[in-house]
A = this chain, B = another copy of it.
Amino acid sequence: MTDVIIAGIGQTEVGEHWDIGLRDLAFAAIQDAVKDSGGLKPQSLFVGNMLAPNLSNQAHLGVLIADYSGLLGIEAVTIEAAGASGGAALRQGYLAVASGMVDVALVVGVEKFTDKVGPGVDAALATTSDSDFEAIQGMTPAAQAALLMKRYMHENEVPQDGFAGFALTAHANAVANNNAMFRKAIKPETYAKAEMVSDPLNMFDMAPNADGAAAVILTRRDLVPDNVSRPLVKIAGSAASSDTLALHDRKDTLYFDTAQISAGKAMKQAGIILDAIDLFEYHDVFSIYAALQLEAVGFAIKGRGWKLAADGEIGLKGKIPCATMGGMRARGFAGGASGVYQAVDAVTQLRGEAEANQIPNVKTALIQSLGGPASTAVSHVLQRME
C-alpha cells in the first residue's frame, strides 16, 4: 500500500469569533493548508463537525464549505462521531487516499460554539451521549466527567490538587502558540483556587468551548510537489474503535478500552511499540480523560495517569510530552475541529517547526481523538520520513 502523506496543514486561532461564521472559519484553515501543500488540488472534502446542526442550524456542511472555499464540484461529506469527529474525518480522508480512488483529500474540522449561547449549548453537547438514557435525565458531559473523576480520586487516593498537572502543562505550552485561546501560564495556586464546575471538576479540569477550524491535505507520496523541502510526514497507522455509548453499560468505567484498542492497532500498523512514541496529543477536554488515556495507551499503569502529570513527566522535557501546543485545555476546545488540530500540532512538531515548543529529535507522534467518555476513540500514528 502506498504511503499517505500529510502534505499541508492550516488552522485558525481558537477563540470567540463573533464576527465570522462557520464557512469563514473553515475557509481560512483550508486556504492555509492548500498554500502550505504547495497548491495541491483536493478532489474530496471530509468535514469533521460535531454540533453544527444544533448550534448553527446548519447541516449539509460539506457542500457549504466546498462551495465557499472555491472547491465547487468536489466530493464533500460531513463526518460525525461527537468529540472524535475531527479524528474520524482524518481517518476517512486517509482511507480515501489509501484506496487509490482519491489522489488528494482535504480534511477540515470546524466548530462554531458561539452561534448559540446559554443552556442550549449544554443541550447540544448532551446529544452526543445516549439521548434516551443519559441526556434526558439531565446528564451533561461535564457532569459525567465529574462522576468519573470523583470515582477515580476515591479508588486511587488522589489528593485534591492531583489533576493540576494537566492544566499547568497545557497552559505552559500555550504561551508561545499564537493560535491558542489562553496564552498564559498558570500557577498551582490558581488551579487550587479555581471555581468548581461540577465537584470535583473545576474550571481548569475542562476545556473551554470555542470556535475554530483546522485543516490537513492528504496525498500519496508521489504526488507531493518537488519544491517541498521540509521533512515529509506520513500517516503510519490509523484505527478507530467504539465502546458503549452510555457509561452505565460498562464493566469498568475507569478504563478506556477504545483508547487502548485503537492505539494498539495504529501502532501495530506502524510497526512500532510504545517506546517509539515521542509525543502524545491526547483529548484533554476533561483532565480525567487525559489521565485515563495515558493509562489505556500504556504510558502509566491503571490509576497512576494523574501522577505522570503531577510529576511533570508530560511536559515538553518530560518522559512523554503531551498537549505540546496547549492541548484542548489552553488552546481551546473547538469540538469537531479538535482531532484535526491534534494532527496539525503533531505535524508542526515532526517538521521541527514548533519553535519555542519544539521537542528535540521527534520522529513519531501518537494522536488520539475521543467522542464522549471514549465511546469513540480514533488513533493515528504520524511519522517523519527520512
The distance in angstroms between the C-alpha atoms of A45 and B371, with both chains bound, is 15
Does residue A77 face the partner (Cβ distance < 8 Å to B)? yes
Q: Give the distance in Å from the alpha carbon of A274 to the alpha carbon of B1 in the complex.
A: 33
Known contacts A53-B53, A54-B54, A131-B56; is-contact A77 B62 (Cβ 8 Å) = no
Are A75 and B243 interface neighbours, CB within 8 A?
no
Q: Which residue of B lies closest to A87 (CB)?
A: B77
Instruction: List residues of chain B with CB within 8 A of the CB of A77.
Output: 79-81, 88, 91-92, 240, 376
User: Which residues in chain A, 104-121, are within 8 Å of chain B measured between CB atoms?
Assistant: none
Given contacts A66-B242, A72-B244, A242-B73, A60 and B78 within 8 Å (CB-CB): no
Interchain CB contact under 8 A, B59 and A51: yes
User: Which of A29-37, A122-130, A295-303 forms contacts with chain B?
Assistant: A122-130
Q: Check: A95 CB closer than 8 A to any chain B CB.
A: yes
Q: Which of A95, A238, A376 has the most CB of B within 10 A?
A: A95
- A19 within 8 Å of B (CB atoms): no
Contact A60 B129 (CB under 8 A): yes
Contact of A99 among B95, B126, B243, B261 (CB under 8 A): B95
Cβ–Cβ contact B127 & A76, under 8 A: no
A82's nearest neighbour on chain B, judged by CB, is B60
> Once bound together, how far apart are the Cα atoms of A1 and B372, in whole Å?
36
A interface size (C-beta, 8 A):
67
**Which of B66, B72, B81, B131 contacts A62, CB < 8 Å?**
B81
Contact of A241 among B58, B60, B74, B95 (CB under 8 A): B74
Residue on B nearest A371 in the bound complex, by CB: B60
Q: Is A132 an interface residue (CB 8 A)?
A: yes
A217 at the interface (CB under 8 A from B): no
Q: Is A100 an interface residue (CB 8 A)?
A: yes
CA distance A80 to B64 in the complex (A): 13
Smallest CB separation, A360 vs chain B (Å) = 33
Any B CB within 8 A of the CB of A50: yes
Q: Does residue A63 face the partner (Cβ distance < 8 Å to B)?
A: yes
For A93, the closest partner residue in chain B by CB is B95
Asked if A60 and B95 make an inter-chain contact with CB atoms under 8 angstroms apart, the answer reads: no
Contacts of A102 in B (CB 8 A): 95
13 A/B residue pairs, CB under 8 Å, sorted by A: A21-B132, A50-B59, A53-B127, A63-B371, A63-B375, A67-B244, A67-B246, A72-B243, A75-B240, A78-B79, A98-B99, A99-B100, A101-B238
Given A67-B245, A72-B242, A78-B79, list of 11 further CB < 8 A pairs?
A45-B242, A57-B123, A57-B126, A63-B82, A67-B246, A71-B242, A73-B242, A74-B241, A77-B91, A80-B80, A95-B95
